[in-house]
Amino acid sequence: MSQTPGRAYPRESLAAHPPNDAPAYASTRLRAPRRPLVILPHTLTELTGPAYGHDSVAEGENDLTLGHAGAPLGERIIVTGRVLDEDGRPVPHTLLEIWQANAAGRYIHVNDRHDAPIDPNFTGAGRVVTDASGGYAFTTIKPGAYPWRNHHNAWRPAHIHFSLFGPSFVTRLVTQMYFPGDPLLGLDPIWQSIPDARARERLVSSFDIETTKPEWALGYRFDIVLRGRGATPMEDPHHG
């Protein structure tokens, strides 16, 4: 929990987010607020937050291919990255929760009616806490694309949902990681809702031969940047 006074989270960085009102994503139509947001100065309530550390995650929760009678079907992948703040500082000891569809594009959620098979060896939920340098790693399988009813012949690009806390109420983030070269990205109103093309690209992981394990799994890199409090930037060895 961070309560250091005197440094503010800049608001300019919020421009990276999609607008709430995005009519091409049909579910926004009755759910997105219409009134302008009221600007809230950050008080102790916003500058503190739940601190989920290593004791909140059990051994193996970052390997989604384990915990069942057999191995899940699909292309085994390793997703690694770092959680940084916008000043380039690592965000250590923060919780990531992820969930995803199976290789056939089906979630185990009871409301998922997609006519694709459930994999008895795959649940699709995991957790990990970042290490001292903000690093994390998951082992999973590549999720499949799936149809949804947003518009005629609508398909979501393959994606993994990410939920992060960061150090405060302000830094809370829920987002989705996509895969490079996916032809569905250009047709996806959820990804396309992000107005700035550079910001959009930050949600697309990159294939990484360095973390690809021979005879075992493909590696993808996905760094996540949370809001920061305007401190002096530090050197970032991965973006030098």
Sites for other proteins among residues 199-238 (CB under 8 A)? 199-200, 202-203, 224-228, 233
Q: Give the three-class secondary structure for 15.
A: helix
Binding mask 131-160 toward other proteins (x if CB under 8 A, else -) reads: ------------------------------
Binding mask 11-50 toward other proteins (x if CB under 8 A, else -) reads: xxxx-xxxxx-x--x-xxxxxxxxx-xxxxxxxxxx-xxx
Minimum Å distance from CB 162 to other proteins?
9
Which of 18, 3, 7, 42 is CA-nearest to residue 175? 18
Asked if 71 interacts with other proteins (CB under 8 A), we say no
Minimum Å distance from CB 219 to other proteins?
20
Sheet holding 173-178, edge to edge: 125-129, 95-100, 159-164, 173-178
Q: Contact at 8 Å (CB) between 84 and 90?
A: yes
Examine the residue annotation and report whether 178 is marked as an active-site residue of this protein.
no
Q: What angle is formed at CA 106 by the lines to CA 115 and CA 70, rounded to 5 degrees? A: 115
Q: Would you say 43 or 215 has its CB closer to other proteins?
A: 43
Of 82, 159, 227, 229, the active-site residue reads 159
Q: Name which position in 68, 109, 213, 238 contacts other proteins (CB under 8 A).
A: 109
Examine the residue annotation and report whether 220 is marked as an active-site residue of this protein.
no
Asked if 128 interacts with other proteins (CB under 8 A), we say no
Q: Contact at 8 Å (CB) between 193 and 19?
A: yes
Minimum Å distance from CB 214 to other proteins?
30
CB atoms within 10 A of CB 45: 11
Examine the residue annotation and report whether 107 is marked as an active-site residue of this protein.
yes
Q: What angle is formed at CA 158 by the lines to CA 205 and CA 200, rounded to 5 degrees? A: 45
Q: Would you say 117 or 233 has its CB closer to other proteins?
A: 233
Q: Name which position in 2, 23, 24, 55 contacts other proteins (CB under 8 A).
A: 55
Please enumerate in sequence order all residues whose Cβ is within 8 A of that of 141, keeping only pairs 6 or more positions apart, or say none: 64, 65, 72, 73, 74, 75, 76, 77, 102, 103, 122
Examine the residue annotation and report whether 152 is marked as an active-site residue of this protein.
no
Q: What angle is formed at CA 163 by the lines to CA 12 and CA 67, rounded to 5 degrees? A: 160
Examine the residue annotation and report whether 68 is marked as an active-site residue of this protein.
no
Minimum Å distance from CB 215 to other proteins?
30
Asked if 56 interacts with other proteins (CB under 8 A), we say yes
Tokens linked to 227: 């809001």
Give catalytic residue positions.
107, 146, 156, 159, 161
